Structure 1
């Protein structure tokens, strides 16, 4: 079946992407490669949600295993069950990766949690967070990055790079499974003869 061949390819592609998401999120929990910021809860909120670990990571790996599993059986009922199973896994990845993409986008846009030397002295806050709607986003103003945070060291670049990686990886997961969902739906509607260029009643 076409959906089975496509599913195996998608499943194999999702595995390294899911691992990248998990590693990126784990690194976000340890800015400057120090664990005390995590134990003191001085880590960006979106990183603490761990959407790259459980959503675009573990859930996607579960779906990838489902995509790569295939049973050599024939028949109309098996065909229907197999396609529906793949559709379910595709929907799971779309929801999980979409959630991770949104969370990562929020973390990237609002900037890191860090020790900032402001008007009230040293304080843990998000100094680069956009306060007013018309305010220029810090991503387009690199001159602010170096002076924004006293510690963790280099946390601005750390967050920008890792949240960008998470967005790119989860976005790729979303696109792969959205395309696979369309393929599976088409095969489900056309029946098992879809890949042989002839339509057979499902």
Structure 2
């Protein structure tokens, strides 16, 4: 197929990005690199959903494998089936990466789950979570970061960096897959003879 090389390139590019998503989400489950926060359910729900592991990680890897797999069969029916297969894998990757992007953005905006000082003393919660509509997000008030949480240590930066990495990586996957969507659509509209079209000099 005309776009076979393009599909393989996109598939190969998605593999390291998907691995980055999986690693970032895995680290989010262990603030301060300690497992007790996970066992005691003191990890944000956005990290617990593990969208970076199963969505922009495993599902995108499945799609990437589909992009890189090529068959030698020929024929009209095979051509149609191959184009539909590519469309299916591309749509799967777009949905998975989009889900991870939204979940990661929500986790970033809501802030970390941590032990913090409140009017009732030390308690677990999300002290940086926006309460009022139009309230300035904590992302733009770095002076609040150091004093917001007592435990885990450095959890504000931990969450900010890893959720930002997840957003960037899943956003990159979205860009790759949306651009790749044009390839099978073009093949589907133009038919199997599209690649063989040549410009003949007058």
CA–CA distance in structure 2, aligned partners of residues 194 and 138 of structure 1: 53
What is the CA distance between 1:32 and its match in structure 2?
0.2
> Normalized against structure 1, the TM-score is what?
0.96
- 1:107 corresponds in structure 2 to 107
Q: What is the CA distance between 1:3 and its match in structure 2?
A: 2.5
Deviations 1:84-135 (A, max 9, x none): 1000000000000000000000000000000011111001000000000121
Give the TM-score taking structure 2 as reference length.
0.96
Query: What does residue 126 of structure 2 align with?
Result: 126
Alpha-carbon deviation of 1:2?
2.1
Alignment correspondent of 2:27: 27
1:177 alignment counterpart:
177
- Structure 1 runs, 4 residues or longer, greater than 2 Å off: 193-198
Which consecutive unaligned segments of at least 5 residues does structure 1 have? Answer: none
CA distance in 1, matches of 2:44, 2:27: 12
Q: Is contact 1:18–1:61 with CA below 8 Å preserved after alignment?
A: yes
Gaps of 5+ in 2: none
CA contact (8 A) 1:44 1:113 kept: yes
> What is the match of residue 90 of structure 1?
90
In 2: Cα distance, 1:125 partner to 1:10 partner:
41
Aligned length: 198
1:41-79 Cα deviation digits (max 9, x unpaired) = 000110000000000001111111111110111111111
Instruction: Compute the displacement of 1:186 (Å).
Output: 1.2
What is the aligned-residue RMSD (CA, Å)?
0.9
